[in-house]
Homo-oligomer: A and B are copies of this chain.
Amino acid sequence: MDRFEQMRVFASVVEAGGFTRAMPRAGMSRAAVSKHVLQLEERLGVRLLNRTTRQVGMTEAGRIFYEQCRRILDEVASAEQGAAQISGEPHGELRVVAPTNFALTYLGDAITEFLLAYHDLKIDLSLNDRAVDPIDGGYDLAIRVINSALPDSASLAATRLTTSSRILCASPAYLLEHGTPRQPQELSKHQCLSYSYVDDPRSWRLKGKGQEKGKEHVVSVSGRIITSAGQVLSTAAAAGLGIAYGPTVFFQDAIARGKVVQVLPDYDLPQVSIYAIYPVSRHRSPKVTAFTGFMQKFFAGKL
């Protein structure tokens, strides 16, 4: 009997293009999705969706109703945010999904400070390394590490929280035994420890700085480790297993202790950007704005 829920679920089905595909977006089982649409159709007395077993299409009434639905749902969100904004303090629960590494490395401190700054906010943090769609997953906000370009989307907005640099490291002992590379090309003769979250973990791109400024080198490398676990890279490098390529943060500690040293410091590795991705409908959501703003300030100080 919940009219709002019926409209939301119906819109989900239309946008997802099917009942099953609408499950995550609607946040309920197929049966419930079906039930909602059925109830809505019964109440209106019109068939809104033409279901052939493999494809869902809209009827004429469905098309008309969907347009209005979409607009009304947006207006409700906007109205609620408008009213909520007046309260000053953001509040409620913020559902965030972030990559495991990023979360374990930074979000512990970041979220702690964030929660101390905003007493009326709760956080539900999910870890997921896939490129989760915040709409489908029902999240307010997804954190993504973007290697190259940000994919365009009409329904998603993004804010860059920070950038992350990567470096090459190896243990002094390893370099003593196998020699310290001076040119990118020499890397191909080394044991190379790769980080999974790179465009191509077997093909490293280095860009010269200093005298060789701007020149880009692409080196095919080989090695016995490809991992998404940053600490494993760091440990392996410290143990002398080879030259590791990974996010700077994972090596800072080992470098400070002298366990590893940076290799080829005259070359830059591609920077990656950390983005907060959220549904455009939450563009001005106080919760999301507070989070992204806080994180930008937080990382501006740290990195």
Contact = CB atoms under 8 A, between A and B. Distances in A.
Most chain B beta-carbon neighbours within 10 Å: one of A3, A45, A80, A92: A45
A48 interface: yes
Interface string A64-107: 11001101100110111011101101011000000000000000
A89 B5 contact: no
Contacts of A60: 86
A131 interface: no
A256 interface: no
Given A45-B89, A120-B45, A72 B83 contact: no
A221 to B, nearest CB: 53
Interface residues of A, number: 34
A86 B64 contact: yes
B72 A79 contact: yes
Given A44-B87, A72-B72, A79-B68, A1 B2 contact: yes
A43 interface: yes
Contacts of A299: none
Contacts of A7: 76
A218 interface: no
A140 to B, nearest CB: 14
Interface of A is mostly: helix
Interface in A209-240: none
Interface in A25-78: 43-46, 48, 60-62, 64-65, 68-69, 71-72, 75-76, 78
Q: Which residue among A4, A7, A48, A64 has the maximum number of chain B CB atoms within 10 Å of its CB?
A: A4
B61 A86 contact: yes
Nearest to A8: B3
A79 B91 contact: no
Given A68-B75, A72-B72, A75-B75, A83 B2 contact: no
Nearest to A68: B79
Contacts of A48: 83
Contacts of A2: 1-5
Contacts of A44: 80, 83-84, 87
Given A43-B80, A45-B120, A64-B83, 8 more contacts: A3-B4, A44-B83, A44-B87, A45-B84, A61-B87, A64-B82, A65-B82, A72-B72
Interface of A: 1-5, 7, 43-46, 48, 60-62, 64-65, 68-69, 71-72, 75-76, 78-80, 82-84, 86-87, 89, 91-92, 120
